[in-house]
Structure 1
Amino acid sequence: MEKIPVNLLLVEDVEDDALLIARELRRGGFLPNYQRVDTAEALEASLGAHDWDVVITDHNMPGFNSSAAIAMVHQHDRDLPVIIVSGSIGEDLAVEAMRLGAKDYIMKSNMRRLVPAIQRELADADSRQARRKAEAAILHLAHHDALTGLDNRASFRLKLESLLQSVRQDGGQHSLLFLDLDQFKVVNDTCGHLAGDEMLKQLAGVLLQGIRVNDHLSRLGGDEFCILLENCALEHAQSIAETLLALVRNFRFFWDNKVFSVGVSIGIVAIDQHSGSMEDILSAADIACYAAKERGRGVIQVYERGNVELSRRRGEMDWVRHIDEALDGGRFQLWRQPIRSLGPDGQHSVHHYELLLRMLDRDDNVVLPGAFLPAAERYDRMRAIDRWVVGTAMQCVGQCKESDEQIHTINLSGASLSDDSLCDFVREQIASNNVEPYNICFEITETVAISNYQSAVRFMHEMRRIGCAFALDDFGSGLSSFAYLKSLPVDFLKIDGAFVRNIANDPMDRAIVEAIHRVAHVAGLRTIAEFVENDAIIQVLRDIGVDFAQGYGIGKPEPAPMNCREALNRSKQ
């Protein structure tokens, strides 16, 4: 049986006793590599000269004892186990030694306990070392990106906050670079996520080549990186950014016999005593980076506080954060506005409802979509919002059906029309919520339909195939409205409110509405007038023959009921 090596430091003034200890260990299966010392000076020197597994010390030596040895060992390394082997130590002294940190005490007259004690201490030391390694690994993962090994978002935020505190106290000029890779999605879509991950690892190395030793490069997630440039004025930061642009531009990624190149857009923001909070700085850097992308990608954009366009975008980014919080925290709501028939049957019943989106701010105030949808459209949040609306609307209709004929209209954006998976998502929501498709009408604006013509027509045909209806909103706002009407498979035409609100007083508006209504009926479509605010408008629309009306003169928007009891109570009011 192979013996186990053990590095042993013996604090023992009698050579024969040291030999006795070594012999006992050999007999127990160890191969001791030991050094004997008998003074404080020799112990101090030996502790720093080698890596020891165990220290064995006698209790009483001339001018030295186990208590002093334990103190010296723990001052050097508190994890190094100390065992007392003595011929004369009383119970009280042994207890005191254990209190000071000795792992065991063994009488020289009972050396059979030595080997089990050594085995136990070595096993405990291995366990402690494994635990420390695991804790270090966890700590590393908490502050580093698992893919690239760079600092992660949490570590970056800690360093940025520390730098801000330093700036407020001591001043100084620093800079932050926000980097977003251009065309990275091409690699992911073409070769898969393994290739994308490998590319990010290689690019992390490329970026490190372009910065100074004391700069902090972090991966925030996805294909976004940030670099903290300490003691770096804006002009120098721009020079570093130019270097990074060139490095990334010259980088080539090889995968599966294919060669890929990418670019990077960089936003720069100065950090000084005039800087706001950490969130303000990150928002400014993100906005500058997005502006760089819009200028053509592979571009550097410095954030300037007086730049009106960048300030506007900063406001939009604030809305983006509110949108993300609303999606994650359930702060969106569905409201509904009634649409009534203008015929004799419409006096006492609602033909259908348009479902409307609302947001609750942090103080639970209702925010209208006109405030946040422009930011959602610019910063690619519309698909997520539309999916929330569709899913919530289907739950509402499935749980709160007030009549078999009632239709609920759901608005969709152009971004969702180009989403190939939207049809499947709608079908899943209809099935899982037990909704009849004929109770659902999707609504898109004329502008969206024309701008996304092929996608719109394809989606309309697919939804009508399963039984859903379609409404074309704001009809008449485009120059080619009637030309497109022949090829768009819609059921309802919503007349642009701009022609309706003054129809009782403006002959031109009345003529336009009459023309739209006649063309719609020739095409087999039903018409809905928007912005119907009073009885005078309602009477003119009835005279023309418009089928339905929507507006404050018909009914104001209200929160959509989310259960049958709530819907029934409202219907009785």
Structure 2
Amino acid sequence: MKEFVVSRHASGSTDDSSPRSAHFRADDRGVLTWADNGAESLFGYSSGRFPGMTVRHLVAGSEDDPFSPAHEETLNHGQKLTLTFRHANGFFFTGHLQLGASHLDEDNAASAMITLLPEASLERSRLRQIEIGAKLGTWDLGVQNNNIHWSEGVYNILELRPGAEVSPEHALFYFQAGQTRIRAALRRCLRTGKAFAFDLPILTAQQRPRWVRLTGNAEYQGELVDKVSGVLVDITPEHDQTLKAQRWRHLLDGMLASTDELIMAVDPEFKVILINEAAASQFETTFNLRPAAGDSLPELLQQYPNENRLYRRLWQRAMERDFFCVEMPLSQQDPDLAVFEVHFHRLTDGAGTVIGAVFRAQDMSEKVGQGTLSYVTSHDPVTGLLNRREFLHRLKRALLNKAEKGNAHALLYLDLDHFEKLNDTHGTGACDRYLRALAMRLSSRIRQRDALARVGGDKLAVLLDNCDENEARKVAENLRLALGELTLEWRNQSLSCTASAGLVPLPSQIDERPEDLLALAADLCQTAKTAGRNRLHVHRDPGNLAAEEQTSVRLQQLQTAMTNRAVELRFQSIRPIASVTWGDNIEILSRLKVSSEATSWGPGEFLPLAERFDLASQFDRLVVAETLAWLARNPLMEPRLKMCCFNVSQGSLMDSAFASEIGPLLAESNYAPSVFCFEVQESDAVRDPSAVEELCHALHELGCRVALEGVSGTGQSYNLISRLPIDVIKLDGKLMKSMMDEPVQQVMVESLHRVAEVSGKITIAQYIEDDEMLKQARALGIHFGQGYRLASPRPLDELAPPPWQDVVN
């Protein structure tokens, strides 16, 4: 229960007859339970109207709802909200709202005690609540008169009207599959006093199948059984869960039996949880022992101390890491044994507790052939690509070939961008999987005579055989683009990366060392990273140097403009379309004034450059600071401004200090933090939902709101809406446009709006460009609209109200 105090915003009136404050109380659902006389006068409703009315009836719109997450955070910190309220006569007024001192949410849990409920106080209504909550009912059978009594719970389980006339034979009809068993249990209990309990199926009066548990106990009068009483419990959910688990077990057994790969799982004490036939047979072939579920691996391998120590370390490592891969024979005793590619995975329960590990092994004999030892020493164990030593050997052989025959060869070096951050975010196991997927994709894009190798943790090299510089450039670009298009789905998250590339045509001189050429290609990658990443640099390529010089000039212009705070602030209004609300809702837009150019730069010109050189987060903070400074110069905007939206770049998402650095700026402002809303692109949220979720919590702690912008209606959209603590949903412009011609898209828009309504979020339709689109959005009940049909972008100064002197004149 909360008590609120509402005081009317001073408007310069000298009329003291109108009330200035009111008190009312509301429960956690926002339903009013009490209001004083001041509330009656302030809002225009009679005192009897308030109980049962929701708080939303008293405010102008959902953005003024004090129960919204952003407003609740502000109130819980003891701060005051400035809201727009609605009078019973239909006009709006501005007021302040804060929590009352006497009815804040209070819990006496610290001093409460749990006591045994006295038997006499178990009233019928309390019993009914217990039976409904536990889905059970009680019954009894009298020995003397054969009378049977049911509680309401039994009637409810059988889907009968409580008190309906039911004979014993009629009752047994619902237990058709268990009639004989029930009769026998009752006779035995009456004769011997032995209790019974068993599960059986029933068919309710509504012809719905259910599973119940029937229990019975004898009650004595003297030495004779006088009554049999018991409980009927609806266990349908538990029974369905058991059946589902059994089906999954059968499915798992079938999957394990259908593969030739070796699969085995152990618990933290290295006891076998499950093992398929292929693994058991291979284990028996290797160690002359056949493991089964429940066996202890250390005990099985007592006669093989080296393997025992090795497997203990591997299994322990598997339980400490998400995933890793090794290539090894199952035993070190015989060098002729086949080599297996073994994948270890950690197993956790729903709470994240480690419950064991599983390994999956694949025989590499067909891939390796007879040269097992040669393969192991020349290939990378994670990706199966050539390793650095073997690649340098083949590069040296290519140099000799070029000197003897004059064939053109090229060396391509790929350095993954921000791979360390990917590893820190998702873990080694996910990145190993990504590298293997990447190796498969790149291998499919080169010829069989080309050589692809992993020469470092996040570095790959390709030797393009008999390939001149022009052709090598095309291949390099294709490989770089193919790498950037690869997306790996891992535990409901998407892993993707780009690469900086360096291409070196092989020289004619045989005195060049392979190590030096590889170092030269690595240096080219570094210059590509400095120039902005995700690009190709070619050795002795003047065109690239010119482009690099031009980029350097524009970067200098960008840095100078940001240093001089040369930002042109603009805004676009966000208009209510579902209902009338008072106040200004805007999105802040920006351009950069560059002194050397006549026109200012639009976002399409400076944002790619800012993101490339990690200046995007700094620019976002600059826009926020300049906007707050403008608002400070225009204090009359405070009661009018309801929502002010800022765009958040991907750089700010990755900047953990973004929220903490704008916090002091917001604290110095006279405007409530709940006015400010930060928009996150859906594409950025899909790419890194964890970073977005962390930013949402940080902004909510400041009292701000968060919007998910560009919501496209895909399955990922619904996943993000349910996962992320957002307050506003901005529907994608393409979705709104396609809605006009495709009924399916209209259903998607309506579905997104309903999800938003249920979860208390605001919806904004973007790109409202004509009357028909506006009409359709309004018909769907979308709260706000944004687009050229409603308002065009304008300089922010045009939003400012006229000076007070001008209004008076």
Question: TM-score, length-normalised on structure 2?
Answer: 0.33
* Structure (1/2) with the larger helix percentage: 1
- Structure with more contact order per residue of length (Cα contacts < 8 Å, sep ≥ 6): 1
TM-score, with structure 1 as normaliser: 0.46
